[in-house]
């Protein structure tokens, strides 16, 4: 039975996939919500704190070209985060930042419209 214990307890990944939509179960990810100015599509983005954010000493910078899945127009963005990974400044072309609540509302409206 020793190998089973190893199998279940040995893996070094604390994340449980219980709830995918909250984002709170993902300690390494920072989530951003953007709406395309052209087609209105909401986009959710995940930045990895270790790999995607540039550490500039006390703050972090995220460079990304966002593409939605409807009109595929690129939306280049630069986001500045403080040491607590809270957004303190952002620039974006072709879209705008929205809250998670707004994102979920837009998503629900789109799914309703598709039915
Ligand atoms: Zn679009």
Q: How far is the CA of 71 from the centre of ligand 1 (A)?
A: 4
Residue 69 CA to ligand 1 centre (angstroms): 7
17-39 tens-digit pLDDT:
444 455 468 999 999 999 999 99
Cα angle 27, 66, 92 (rounded to 5 degrees) comes to 100
- Which pTM was predicted? 0.74
Q: How far is the CA of 8 from the centre of ligand 1 (A)?
A: 43
Q: pLDDT tens-digit profile of 47-78?
A: 999 999 999 999 999 999 999 999 999 999 99
Separation of CA 57 and ligand 1 centre (Å): 34
Residue 17 CA to ligand 1 centre (angstroms)? 29
Asked if 77 and 90 touch (Cβ cutoff 8 Å), the reply is yes
């Amino acid at each position: 039975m020793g190998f089973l214990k190893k199998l279940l307890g040995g893996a070094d990944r604390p994340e449980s996939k219980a709830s995918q939509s909250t984002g709170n179960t993902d300690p390494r990810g920072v989530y951003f919500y953007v709406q395309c100015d052209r087609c209105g599509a909401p986009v959710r983005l995940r930045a990895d704190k270790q790999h995607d954010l540039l550490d500039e000493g006390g703050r972090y910078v995220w460079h990304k070209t966002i593409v939605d899945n409807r009109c595929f127009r690129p939306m280049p963005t630069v986001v500045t985060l403080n040491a607590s990974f809270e957004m303190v400044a952002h620039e974006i072309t072709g879209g705008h930042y929205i809250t998670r609540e707004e994102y979920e509302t837009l998503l629900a409206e789109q799914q309703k419209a598709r039915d």
